């Protein structure tokens, strides 16, 4: 069975076509600049096919994708595609698991789209495009927030007027749930048990830390939106909201402009003034750049703070797992974070830690907490959920 995993953005559409018999990726790629001009890249069999073509909307992108899958002989017929799974950022507290798309699901998605205005409407465009192009193929929706719905009320509520929660749904929802669930399931396989305490560190351009006990989320660092939590590539993470009025006044900016600054001009980029790319920051750090050293220390400290907080929350930890772009590919970040955790008995083997993009145990035998690098695979999780729902429909 072949299933397509889809991540649709406002002007992009990423895809992975996966053979679920062996869970191998047959082809993947991205359609970009939708509604502007358009270009796309498709990778398959070690080849990369690129083309510029006008993409007026997501329907164009989907139709061209399906046409190219046949033209490039990636599939012989579209009948080989038996399911389409879609990533949706925000499911609020309405969705706590993956669902098959129907009219009622689309109505509910439309009712909560304002909770993720930059993401959910775009995700919905992808769903509508595939429903139109492949009307007889089941579509599913996998929510970034679903895994975090096991948090208790004490954890997900903010200390603000309770009426804000009742009237407007103001609470912590978290993000990266599909990735954290993948890390959880992989950890269960590694340990051969579903009883464990895990601190999952999804550290990429966006970053979140999640406390997991017996395969359930207990707490997570992102909040009402993905702006909260640890310092990220361009996001500030946690700040004092009282700083907003004086900055707005002095910069002559409205709230939307300031929120944009916190999302896109802050974090590693804002503090360092160098780049949002951790590879650039590491180069400057190793060259002794003062701002880079300051930023790196702050970045590592914020990650350490959350790991330590969740260690106490879980009353200990069996595993700390690093994943996503930085977590999987930066031995330096992993070392600095683990060095900060030495008081908890964390020890890493520097030779084992010198890896990128591979699953590995990097802690020493006498480390009180096992430390793993586990590459994440959100696309595979989407495809697995889709396959399961189709089989049980």
Catalytic residue list: 144
Q: Which of 91, 26, 98, 86 is nearest to 62 (CA)?
A: 86
- CA distances (Å), 268 to each of 208, 225, 324, 332, 370, in order? 15, 19, 16, 16, 28
Tokens 């959350």 sit on residue: 306
How would you label 269-279 residue by residue, b for 16+ Cβ within 10 Å and e otherwise?
A: bbbbebbbebe
The whole-angstrom separation of Cα 266 and Cα 276 is: 9
CA–CA dist 298, 302 (Å, integer) = 6
DSSP 272: H
Q: Rounded to 5 degrees, what angle do the CA atoms 11, 385, 314 make?
A: 100
- Work out the widest C-alpha separation in the chain, in whole angstroms: 61
Quickly list H helices, the chain.
Answer: 58-71, 103-111, 120-133, 153-156, 162-168, 177-191, 244-251, 255-264, 267-272, 278-286, 290-313, 324-329, 331-340, 350-353, 378-392
Which two tokens mark 253? Answer: 């900016």
């Amino acid at each position: 069975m072949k299933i397509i995993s889809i991540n649709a953005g406002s002007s992009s559409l990423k895809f992975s076509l996966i053979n679920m018999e062996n869970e191998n990726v047959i082809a993947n790629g991205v359609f970009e600049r939708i509604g502007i001009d358009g270009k796309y890249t498709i990778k398959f069999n070690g080849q990369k096919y690129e083309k510029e073509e006008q993409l007026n909307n997501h329907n164009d992108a989907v139709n061209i994708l399906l046409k190219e899958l046949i033209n490039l002989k990636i599939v012989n017929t579209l009948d080989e595609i038996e399911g389409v799974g879609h990533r949706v950022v925000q499911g609020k507290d309405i969705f706590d698991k993956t669902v098959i798309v129907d009219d009622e699901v689309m109505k509910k998605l439309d009712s909560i789209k304002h909770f993720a205005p930059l993401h959910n409407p775009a995700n919905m465009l992808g769903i509508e495009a595939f429903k139109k192009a492949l009307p007889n193929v089941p579509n599913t929706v996998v929510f970034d927030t679903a895994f975090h719905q096991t948090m208790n009320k004490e954890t997900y509520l903010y200390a603000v007027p309770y009426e804000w929660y009742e009237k407007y749904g103001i609470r912590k929802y978290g993000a990266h749930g599909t990735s954290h669930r993948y890390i959880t399931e992989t950890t269960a396989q590694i340990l051969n048990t579903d009883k464990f305490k895990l601190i999952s560190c999804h550290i990429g351009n966006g970053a979140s830390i999640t406390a997991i006990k017996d395969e359930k989320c207990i707490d997570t660092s992102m909040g009402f939106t993905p702006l909260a939590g640890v310092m990220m590539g361009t996001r500030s993470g946690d700040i004092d909201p009282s700083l907003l009025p004086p900055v707005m006044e002095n910069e002559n900016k409205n709230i939307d402009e300031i929120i944009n600054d916190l999302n896109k001009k802050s974090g590693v980029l804002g503090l360092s003034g160098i780049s949002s790319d951790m590879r650039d920051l590491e180069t400057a750090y190793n060259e002794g750049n003062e701002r880079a050293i300051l930023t790196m220390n702050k970045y590592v400290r914020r990650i350490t703070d959350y790991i330590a907080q969740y260690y106490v929350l879980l009353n200990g930890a069996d595993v700390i797992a690093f994943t996503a772009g930085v977590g999987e590919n930066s031995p330096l970040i992993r070392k600095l974070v683990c060095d900060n955790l030495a008081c908890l008995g964390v020890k890493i083997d520097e030779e084992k830690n010198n890896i990128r993009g591979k699953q590995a145990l990097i802690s020493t035998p006498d480390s009180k907490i096992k430390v793993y690098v586990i590459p994440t695979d959100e696309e595979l999780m989407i495809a697995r959920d889709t396959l399961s729902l189709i089989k049980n429909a």
